[in-house]
Structure 1
Amino acid sequence: MSNRRDFIKKTALGTIGLGTALGANAMLKSESSKENIIKKNNKKPLIISTWNHGLPANEETWKQLKNGKSTLDAIEAGMMIPEGDPKVRSVGYGGYPDREGHVTLDACIMDHNSDCGSVSFLEGIKHPISVAKRVLQNTPHVMLSGEGALQFALEQGFKKENLLTPESEKNWKNWLEASKYKPVINIENHDTISMLVIDNDGNISGGCTTSGAAWKMHGRVGDSPIIGAGLFLDNEVGAAAATGLGEAVIRTAGSAMVVELMRQGKSPNQACKEIVERIYNKHKNHRDMEYLQVGFIAVNKQGEYGGYSLRSGFNYAVYDEKNGNRMEDSKFKMTWDN
């Protein structure tokens, strides 16, 4: 009996010892895994934004971050650059008008706490990204639109001004002669600027701003101010933003779906590619297919980034400490000849 008791006792102690060893080993592996994630996330801060007007926007955002500004303030300052540049014909001042000659603007901004602000169908305010930030900070709402957004902006001290430049007015009058709505994608028409930022603490924020599709119907709102379509982020996972034909992005909740795929373990490039292919499959027989272009950019919590578009021609600006500010071409599913 005593031998049996001794055997059980020794076996139990051995099991405890083995369990302790295995637990310690698992803990070491867990800590090692955490260290690998931390080492991998070495691109802080990191900024990625759509199209070549993302370069000056990135530059200003980077400068603001280095000067200690908050990420939202830095995004706002960066996006104000293309918004205020009349040579950028798809964002803010100088943007192409709708078919009635009105320049109407959309924008949104979102921080790492998932707080967000948005304005849509806003007229007469040069910097809609700033109004969107005030919606986030000073209201209980996410989105204000049209006259309500304008009223709020004026109450917040913004100045109303004419955003239709002589050049855009001339283009609009020339368009009226034929009055055909046929977007010229990649050429100053759907070139939203979307921006994603990983700050020094590894937190993610983002924003979008646009004057929308040229010659759109009065009152049309695209994907850019819609959280989950033009922009979405989850600070535990990553962020994504869109450019291109907003209707196609809205129909598929594009940016939110990119983030969800990253949650499942896909890289930013893989996630963007899968959603672009989903959009293609849903639109290949659609009336919009003739001029359909959609592109996504994405970052994940580990500091990886990527982009993918339906057709050729999409590029994005990237800024990090190691390589500075540069343009990168997106991979794509098809060329315009397909």
Structure 2
Amino acid sequence: MLNRRKFLQYTAFTSAMLSVKNSAAAALLPTKSTLVANLPVVISTWDFGIAANQAAWKILSIGGRALDAVEQGVWVPEADVKNQTVGYGGLPDRDGRVTLDACIMDEFGNCGSVAALEHIMHPISVARKVMENTPHVMLAGDGALQFALENGFKKINLLTPEAEKAWKEWLVTAKYSPVMNIENKSYGKAAPQRLPGNQYNHDTIGMLALDAKGNLSGACTTSGMAYKLHGRIGDSPIIGAGLFVDNEIGGATSTGVGEEVIRNVGSFLVVELMRQGYPPEEACKEAVMRIIKKKPQTAKEIQVGFLALNKKGEYGAYAIQKGFSFAVCNQQKQDILIPGKSYY
């Protein structure tokens, strides 16, 4: 049995330990000012990300789920007939067929993907159906189309007159053979010069969102590299390459030449670097530097960029070439376009 003196000493010691424990736990929680400043937030690649972010913000600003926000956000470029790198209106493969790739990932680690999908306006929504309604992660080609039609999606012609005209002009001099970095060059009389990293050469929209509850989700969707070999798949539908989300740490997405992103499992790498304590921009930079280190000569001719968002609402980006940009929308920065830092 404790005497009175020992009882008081024990009580004081226990109270002190509880105080230390509670203080440590409190230090791990976001402060009220942090939440007000940074949550919710949505970021996405390229200048058309501004319009995409606006659609996502309508959901986030009323307390909606990040998953719903990223899906609705990337619907905007997927349906934009003037956007020749994402969805409807996208430039075809060398056979004149528009094939789409997309993936989506939620706060629980659930993910879905479609690859080489034809005739469907919104591949991101088919990817979500794969995630929620099947035991699989990825469906491809005719199987993905069959699944989409069975789930009520409408079949349409994705090849617009403008994209078809550009493809036919390309055929005149292409000798029906894909050329490395053809997207960097002018491929038709009416086509603008495609410089690395400009609005005609990026292929992808990647979007990351952190909702008011502190949960992350991401989406990535594309029509892929112009005039690719039929059946070519880039990084965009591949979880860990084009997109990765870990709700404990953050999320990352990529844009540019997907083959190099796949070889480095780029988005997963960025998230793991953030787990080690790297800020988002520094994590993106390190992933870029690994590509440059492995293939220094190739890196001079291609564009790859990464975009990241951590659990605190901090974001950052880095690319190989100049010209990469990303859009930000939160309570302080509505519809802001930020030039990403680059190596060259």
Q: What's the TM-score once normalised by structure 2's chain length? A: 0.88
Aligned length: 323
Aligned position for 2:137: 142
Separation in 2, partners of 1:308, 1:14: 58
Separation in 2, partners of 1:282, 1:96: 30
Deviation at 1:90, TM superposition (A): 0.2
Q: How does 1:80-95 map to 2 (within 5 A)?
A: 80-95=75-90
Deviation at 1:28, TM superposition (A): 4.8
Q: How does 1:1-338 map to 2 (within 5 A)?
A: 20=14, 23-24=17-18, 26-35=20-29, 39-42=33-36, 43-67=38-62, 69-179=64-174, 180-182=179-181, 183-184=183-184, 185-187=196-198, 188-285=200-297, 288-334=298-344
Deviation at 1:69, TM superposition (A): 4.4
Separation in 2, partners of 1:84, 1:35: 40
Contact preservation (8 Å) 1:136, 1:142: yes
Separation in 1, partners of 2:210, 2:242: 18
* Larger displacement relative to structure 2 (70-79 or 322-331): 70-79
Deviation at 1:37, TM superposition (A): 5.5
Kindly tell me: are residues 28 and 154 of structure 1, through their superposed partners in 2, closer, same or farther at Cα, counting changes over 3 Å? closer
Contact preservation (8 Å) 1:190, 1:212: no
* 1:221-249: CA deviation from partner (whole Å, max 9, x where unpaired): 00000000000011001000000110000
Separation in 2, partners of 1:202, 1:271: 21
Deviation at 1:19, TM superposition (A): 5.6
3-state SS of the aligned residue for 1:236?
coil
Which amino acid in structure 2 is aligned with residue 234 of structure 1?
D
Deviation at 1:41, TM superposition (A): 4.2
* 1:91-130: CA deviation from partner (whole Å, max 9, x where unpaired): 0011111111111100001100010110000011111011
Greater Cα radius of gyration, structure 1 or 2: 1
In structure 1, stretches of 5+ residues that fail to align are 1-9
Contact preservation (8 Å) 1:57, 1:78: yes
Kindly tell me: are residues 67 and 301 of structure 1, through their superposed partners in 2, closer, same or farther at Cα, counting changes over 3 Å? closer
Deviation at 1:24, TM superposition (A): 4.5
3-state SS of the aligned residue for 2:226?
coil
Kindly tell me: are residues 41 and 275 of structure 1, through their superposed partners in 2, closer, same or farther at Cα, counting changes over 3 Å? farther
In structure 2, stretches of 5+ residues that fail to align are 185-195
Separation in 2, partners of 1:41, 1:320: 11
Deviation at 1:33, TM superposition (A): 1.2
3-state SS of the aligned residue for 1:311?
coil
Contact preservation (8 Å) 2:280, 2:308: yes
Separation in 2, partners of 1:22, 1:162: 70
Separation in 2, partners of 1:13, 1:261: 49
Kindly tell me: are residues 251 and 41 of structure 1, through their superposed partners in 2, closer, same or farther at Cα, counting changes over 3 Å? farther
Deviation at 1:292, TM superposition (A): 1.3
Which amino acid in structure 2 is aligned with residue 284 of structure 1?
P
3-state SS of the aligned residue for 1:208?
strand
Kindly tell me: are residues 206 and 36 of structure 1, through their superposed partners in 2, closer, same or farther at Cα, counting changes over 3 Å? closer
Runs (4+) off by over 4 Å? 12-22, 35-39
